[in-house]
Structures are given as C-alpha cells and as structure tokens.
Chain A
Amino acid sequence: EVQLLESGGGLVQPGGSLRLSCAASEFTFSSYAMSWVRQAPGKGLEWVSAISGSGGSTYYADSVKGRFTISRDNSKNTLYLQMNSLRAEDTALYYCAGSNYDSIRFDYWGQGTLVTVSS
C-alpha cells in the first residue's frame, strides 16, 4: 500500500522560510510524478507544484513561482518543498500527492502538514 507522510509544517513569520518533506514508502518512488496541493482553512484544493519522477521537470502555480522550490531525493524516497518569502495567504494544510500514470493525476495523498504564516 502506498504511504505518504508529510512533515515540516509549523508557525512562521511573514517573509520567513520553511521546508516541507514527504516521505514515501511501499512503492517505487522514482516512477511517480509528485505534487504539492494545499488547502487553506475552510477552503478548497489548490495545486502548488509538481515534479517528474526523475526530478528533471518541475512546474509551479503562478501564486508561488519564484518563492517555492520543489525537489526530490529518490535515494531517500522523499519529496521536498522549500518555501521562501512566505505570506499570510500561504497559510494552509499542505498535502503531497502523486501518481505513476500521469504527472498531475493524484491517486495517492498524504495526511497533510499545516503551515501557518503569522506574526
């Protein structure tokens, strides 16, 4: 069974940085394209960023482009999201999600990690 476990969330001041991690188990991680999807409190789902299985291709939502960086370490079965210049509107529950069938199909989800940007 595919398992995804996010970590690294927390409270950070506006302008600060945070690095999220998503540890994968029970599947061939390198064959899965992975994404980060976020959900602001009481709101809907918003895609943030995606990365190919090899890590050679990355994609970003306009709202985070230039501030967030997605990466992966296939030797450690781990996905990352480096978040810089954080804003109040980045406050959300961040999920990692992925599929081995399509780069932006979300067959599997982690349980999420909460990021709160506030002074």
Chain B
Amino acid sequence: DIQMTQSPSSLSASVGDRVTITCRASQGISNYLAWFQQKPGKAPKSLIYAASSLQSGVPSKFSGSGSGTDFTLTISSLQPEDFATYYCQQYNSYPPTFGQGTRLEIK
C-alpha cells in the first residue's frame, strides 16, 4: 500500500496568514492526489484533485502543487471558516490511502 504522510500534524495560524501543508507519498503517484477539508461534525469536502486542479466552487485562495511523491496545499489569507482539518489522498492505485490529517487551528 502507498503510505501518505502529512506535515505538520497540527498548525496554529492567525487570520490573514498564508499556510502550507505538505504531503509525501511512499512511492510515485504522478499527480493522482486530492485534498479535502473537514470541519467538526461534517463530511469531508473535496478542494483539489489532480494535485493542482480546484474543484468547482472552491475559492482560489486554495492552491495545490506537486507531482511524483511530494505535494503541497497552500491556503492564503486565512479566514475563520478555513480553520479545519485537511487531508491528502492518493488515487493512483488501490487501495486509495489518506494522510493522517493536518489540524489547522486559530492562534
């Protein structure tokens, strides 16, 4: 199975900040990488697919990059509604696997 490792596991930031979350795959996955946002008590929401393509309706403050084994999610100008847990997921091969999550908290 492909292991997905996110860093950091938790992150404190202030409103208006720009933050970056990294995701590393244990083997190359081309660009078959998605990012999700999950708020407490809610289902995950797809933000990005194919490493850098924004889902319809997702604001451009979210951006993704990377290919192969190393990927990043960047969120600019943090707003209160952005504080949540973020997951990466590879869909290059079965079984699809998720990172352990990055909890983004308000400083």
A residues with CB within 8 A of B: 35, 44-47, 50, 59, 61-62, 95, 97, 101-102, 104-112
Report the bound CA distance from A110 to B42 in whole Å. 10
Having A62-B95, A107-B49, one finds 10 other A-B pairs with CB under 8 Å, namely: A47-B96, A101-B49, A102-B91, A105-B34, A106-B36, A106-B44, A106-B46, A109-B45, A109-B46, A111-B43
- Closest residue of chain A to B87, judged by CB? A45
Contact with A along B36-55 (1 / 0, CB 8 A): 10000011111001000001
Residues 22 to 71 of chain B near chain A (Cβ within 8 Å):
32, 34, 36, 42-46, 49, 55
B76 within 8 A of A: no
Interface of B is mostly: loop
In the complex, chain B residues whose CB is within 8 Å of the CB of A111: 42-43
Instruction: Closest B residue to A4 by CB, please name it.
Output: B43
Bound-complex Cα distance A45 to B97 (A): 8
Expressed in whole angstroms, the Cα–Cα distance for A50 and B42 within the complex equals: 22
* A111-B46 Cα distance, complex, nearest whole Å: 13
Q: Which of A35, A44, A97, A107 sits near B55, CB closer than 8 Å?
A: A107
Q: What band does the interface of chain B fall in when counting residues whose beta carbon is under 8 Å from A?
A: 20 to 34
Kindly supply a per-residue 1/0 record for chain B positions 75-103, scoring 1 wherever the CB is within 8 Å of any chain A CB and 0 otherwise: 00000000000010101001111111100
Determine if A44 and B44 form an interchain contact, defined as CB atoms under 8 angstroms apart: no
Cross-chain pairs A/B with CB under 8 angstroms, 5 sampled? A44-B100, A50-B96, A105-B49, A109-B44, A111-B42
With a cutoff of 8 Å between Cβ atoms, the chain A residues found around residue B32 in the complex are 102
Residues of A within 8 A of B96 (CB): 35, 47, 50, 104, 106
**A105-B34, A106-B34, A109-B44 known; A46-B98 Cβ under 8 A:** yes
Give the docked Cα–Cα distance between A102 and B31 (Å): 13
